[in-house]
Chain A
Amino acid sequence: MSRKSEGPSSDPSAGQIIHMQGIRKVYDTGKIKVEALKGINLSVSAGEFVAIVGPSGSGKSTLMNLIGCLDTPTDGQYRLGGEDVSKLDSDALADVRNRRVGFVFQGFNLLPQISAFENVEMPLVFGGVGVRERKQRVTDLLGRVGLGDRMEHKPTELSGGQMQRVAIARALAMQPDVILADEPTGNLDTTAGGDIMQLFAELWSQGKTLVVITHDMSLARRASRVVEVRDGRILRDVPSAEVA
């Protein structure tokens, strides 16, 4: 088992977007307690592209929920963008998600009744961005993902790849510290999946920090680092070149 060694710097989290130390997560259903994460130490620096892999039941979904601040750890310390988020209340966590995390889901999770434009606009509304700037940013982002001519379309009128591109535009809207993607290509055919991988690679080259949870080894190989989770622990944490 190899763990990422901490740097020589006096502040171990300096320059790091994600800094997790001794993270445990126990699900207490009343009758039984399930320890999903058994002590995770994970750091991700700005500009990294990290793939988290592992079989189902390994705890990687729990890890993703914690990274995305959708849930809080039972134990341990988590700093996101330098801010300690392990003990925040639900409203503060909502604000952190809004400002620091951009989610991309396997099932896209676009709101079906509203247009692509309004979907991308949603986090900006929550972030309190003014109407004029919202319009500017949304138009920009949809243009960047190649959907400048589909802004008024509803998700049902778009293809799977287009929907995922809308979701990526939405994830970028608040200029978050990290883009967190859960099986982003899992629901797409090979061509569309390839497009999305290409888009992620572009985002990385633009300096974005990406954390992708995936089964898809072709996607994992594009990352700079692969973290393998098994049985609630980090089994391997290696540069992607070393992954077979």
Chain B
Amino acid sequence: MSRNDLSIILHLFLGSARLQKKRAFLTIASIAWGTVTILLLLAFGEGLKRQFARNEQAMGTNLAINWPGETSKVWKGLPEGRGVKPRIDDIPLLQQRMPDVQVWGEMTSSRTLMQYARKTVNARVIGPNWVYGDPRKHYPVPGGRFLGPQDEEQKRRVVFLGYELAEDLFVKENPVGKTILVNSSPFTVIGVMQRKTQTSAYGGQDKDHAVIPITTFRALFGRDKLNVVVLHVENEDDMEFALQRMNQFFAVRYSYDPRDERVFGTWNTVKGQRISAKIFLGMEMFFGIIGALTLIIGCVGVANIMYAVVKERTREIGVKMALGARRGWITGPFVLEGLIYTLLGGLAGGVIAILIVTVLGLLPLEDMKVMEFLGKPTLSWPIGAATVAILGTAGLLAGFFPARRAAAIDPAATLRYE
């Protein structure tokens, strides 16, 4: 196509576009509506996904929680059904065996009496190894800290509080540095957990419990059997192998068949993460399809109007052909019209969607329980790119088919006087 062709097409297009402002406006509005719909659906989907992932990951990611149980196979003359009960001292040995994996044990005491001043509360106390803090996302509010290696070594009487438990005990007071009684023994509060919305947990929500060093726990409650053994890997693909090695370690130590997979009841969060990733991908595709369909309705509207225009201007097209218009000069303005309508509609829709998402983003999240789970609608570059691609294709097609019909017009047939 030469520059001459372009200038002729532009001339013809400008001649026809200015004549039908109302029609153009309505067409653009329908495209804008479709664009807003697809963008908002995808933005809500993205926000929901991110918020859900954040909430689900509030417990931590790439974790395997292992509850000790009983053997289910006979082994070296020993019967099945023997209990396997790992102890605190197994953990350093296991950690030595697999230095690439983070390992810790936890002991739990539910409904334990805690007192501060005249307030008394029954709550869960967890005694884990100090490494627990980061992978389990127990981040302290500024001014406090989580447990450290010295606390464990020296069996210090220090406690880290979940934020709701801290509120129950202290109301508005700052708990850090204060002394509370846990099971009638005095403990110093060294930190309070930052707020987080948590949707998965074992034993209970993190915000409700108190965490003390595992060694202190043993001394306080006189137990050394672990309730759970937890593994944390950096890369989710390493989890299967880590679990195998753990089982082998305990199989030797407690004399059971290393192929016995029933000894530990295991919750491998990697599997869950993978499933929810798939679920959310499916959900986004679903939203995307609904949005795309809405947008396509808009484009069908454009095509429909352009078909009507072609039909209405059949004679006009015939006249132009008789006067020497090439087919491309007839189809060009139609394709251009379709593209410009979708472009303007897409732009308007994009601006509206961005405005809505921005306004929703300004609303405070904390005050609304629903929003804690729904999240905020989020627009991302892939969403934008997908929308532009759909719009562009649809716009081209919306102009192309009517234009093809226009080009097929036989000038000789239209020019006869009726």
* Residues of chain A whose beta carbon lies under 8 Å from any beta carbon of chain B: 61, 65, 68, 70-71, 90-91, 94-95, 97-99, 103, 105-107, 109-114, 118, 122-123, 125-128, 170, 174, 182-183, 186-187
Contact = CB atoms under 8 A, between A and B. Distances in A.
A125 B415 contact: no
A15 B166 CA distance: 109
Given A105-B417, A118-B15, A70 B322 contact: yes
A113 B313 CA distance: 11
Nearest to B20: A113
Contact of A126 (B15, B325, B327): B325
B415 A123 contact: no
B322 A97 contact: yes
B20 to A, nearest CB: 9
Contacts of A126: 8, 320, 323-326, 329
Given A107-B417, A109-B415, A113-B19, A90 B323 contact: no
Contacts of A99: 324
The residue in B19, B322, B412 that gathers the most chain A C-beta atoms within 10 A of its C-beta is B322
A95 B324 contact: yes
B417 A183 contact: yes
B415 A105 contact: yes
Contacts of B336: none
A68 B15 CA distance: 26
Which 4 pairs show the lowest CB-CB distances between chains A and B?
A98-B324, A107-B417, A106-B417, A70-B412
Interface in B253-273: none
Contacts of A127: 324
Nearest to B321: A94
Contacts of A114: 15
Nearest to B315: A109
A128 B299 CA distance: 34
7 contacts: A68-B322, A90-B327, A103-B322, A103-B323, A107-B416, A112-B316, A126-B320
Contacts of A111: 316, 319-320
A76 B418 CA distance: 30
B11 interface: yes
Contact of B415 (A70, A122, A170): A70
Nearest to A94: B326
Interface in B375-418: 410-412, 415-418
Contacts of B325: 94, 126
Mostly helix, strand, loop or mixed at chain B's interface? helix
B150 interface: no
Nearest to B316: A111
Nearest to A111: B316
Interface residues of B, number: 28
Contact of B418 (A71, A107, A113, A170): A107
Nearest to B323: A123
B235 interface: no
B324 A94 contact: yes
Contact of A123 (B318, B324, B328): B324
Contacts of A98: 323-324
Interface in B306-344: 315-316, 318-329
The residue in B315, B318, B416 that gathers the most chain A C-beta atoms within 10 A of its C-beta is B416
A174 B321 CA distance: 15
A187 B418 CA distance: 11
B219 to A, nearest CB: 95
Contacts of A103: 322-323, 415
B327 A94 contact: yes
B322 A125 contact: no
B5 to A, nearest CB: 10
Given A95-B326, A128-B4, A65 B316 contact: no
A112 B415 CA distance: 14
B56 to A, nearest CB: 61
B412 A187 contact: no
B319 A174 contact: no
A90 B324 contact: no
The residue in A61, A94, A186 that gathers the most chain B C-beta atoms within 10 A of its C-beta is A94
Contact of A71 (B16, B318, B412, B416): B412
A128 B6 CA distance: 11
Contacts of B19: 113
B153 to A, nearest CB: 90
B15 A170 contact: no
B417 A97 contact: no
A91 B327 contact: yes
Contact of B324 (A61, A97, A109): A97
Contacts of A186: 417
Nearest to A167: B319
A183 B320 CA distance: 19
Contacts of A70: 321-322, 411-412, 415
A219 B415 CA distance: 21
A227 B187 CA distance: 121
Interface in B5-39: 8, 11-12, 15-16, 19
Nearest to B418: A107
A105 to B, nearest CB: 6
Given A103-B323, A126-B320, A128-B8, 20 more contacts: A65-B412, A70-B411, A91-B327, A94-B321, A94-B325, A97-B321, A97-B324, A98-B324, A103-B322, A103-B415, A107-B415, A107-B416, A107-B417, A107-B418, A109-B315, A109-B319, A113-B19, A114-B15, A126-B323, A182-B417
